[in-house]
Chains A and B, each alone.
Chain A
Amino acid sequence: MATGTISQRRLSPFHAIGAVVLTAVQSVGDLSVFALQMLGCMLGSLPRRSVLLPNMYRIGVLSIPVVVITGGFIGMVLAVQTYDQFRQMGIETRLGAVINASLVKELGPVLAATMLAGRVGSSMAAELGTMRVTEQIDALRALGANPIQYLVVPRFLSCFLLIPLLTVVADSFGIICGWLFSWQILGINSFHYWFHALNYVMAYDVLTGFFKSVFFGAAIAVIACHRGFHCGAGAEGVGKAATESFVLSFVVILVIDFFLGMILNPLYFILWPSPISLV
Chain B
Amino acid sequence: MTILLLSIPSTHAASLPQSSVLDSGKIQHAKGQIERAKSVLEEYKQQRGEKQAPNGDTNPHHSKEALVQLCGVSRSFHAQHVLRDISLSVGTGETLALIGESGCGKSVTLKLMMALLEPTRGEVCWSGRSVRELSEKDRSKERLRFGYLFQGAALFDSMSVFENVAFALRQNTKKKEGEIRQIVNERLKEVGLTDAVCHRKPAELSGGMKKRVGLARALVLKPEVIFYDEPTTGLDPIMSDVINELILETRSRQRVTSVVVTHDMRTVKKVADRVIMLYPLSRLSSAEPQIVFEGTSDEAFSSSDPRVSQFVSGQAGERMRELTAN
Contact = CB atoms under 8 A, between A and B. Distances in A.
Partners in one complex: yes
Interface in A115-154: 130-131, 134-136, 138-139, 141-146
A138 B150 contact: yes
A134 B158 CA distance: 13
Contacts of B136: 146
A143 B282 contact: no
Given A136-B156, A138-B150, A139-B150, A144 B79 contact: no
B114 A142 contact: yes
Contacts of B218: 142
B140 A141 contact: yes
Interface in A1-44: 1-6, 8
29 contacts: A2-B284, A2-B285, A4-B82, A4-B282, A8-B79, A130-B157, A134-B152, A134-B157, A135-B151, A135-B154, A136-B155, A136-B156, A138-B111, A138-B116, A138-B150, A139-B148, A139-B156, A141-B140, A141-B143, A142-B116, A142-B218, A143-B167, A143-B168, A143-B172, A144-B140, A144-B141, A144-B221, A145-B171, A146-B140
B146 to A, nearest CB: 7
B55 interface: no
A143 B171 contact: yes
Nearest to A48: B170
Contacts of A142: 114, 116, 143, 146-148, 218
A142 B228 CA distance: 13
Of all A-B residue pairs in the complex, the 6 with the closest CB atoms, nearest first, are: A4-B282, A139-B154, A135-B154, A143-B168, A142-B148, A6-B79
A5 B281 CA distance: 10
B297 to A, nearest CB: 27
A144 B143 contact: yes
Contacts, number: 72
A5 B81 contact: yes
Nearest to A3: B282
B50 to A, nearest CB: 33
B280 interface: yes
A131 B157 CA distance: 9
Interface in B136-179: 136, 140-141, 143-144, 146-148, 150-152, 154-157, 167-168, 171-172
A4 B152 contact: no
Interface of A: 1-6, 8, 130-131, 134-136, 138-139, 141-146
A108 B144 CA distance: 48
Contacts of B143: 141-142, 144
A33 to B, nearest CB: 13
B285 A5 contact: no
Contacts of B172: 143-144
Contacts of B280: 4
B171 A4 contact: no
Contact of B81 (A4, A135, A143): A4
Nearest to B227: A142
Nearest to B140: A144
A132 to B, nearest CB: 11
B76 to A, nearest CB: 9
Contact of A136 (B154, B168, B171, B283): B154
A1 B279 CA distance: 13
Contacts of A4: 80-82, 280-282
Contacts of A130: 157
Contacts of B171: 143-145
A269 B116 CA distance: 54
B209 to A, nearest CB: 16
A2 B281 contact: yes
Nearest to A2: B286
Contact of B157 (A2, A3, A136, A146): A136
B68 to A, nearest CB: 14
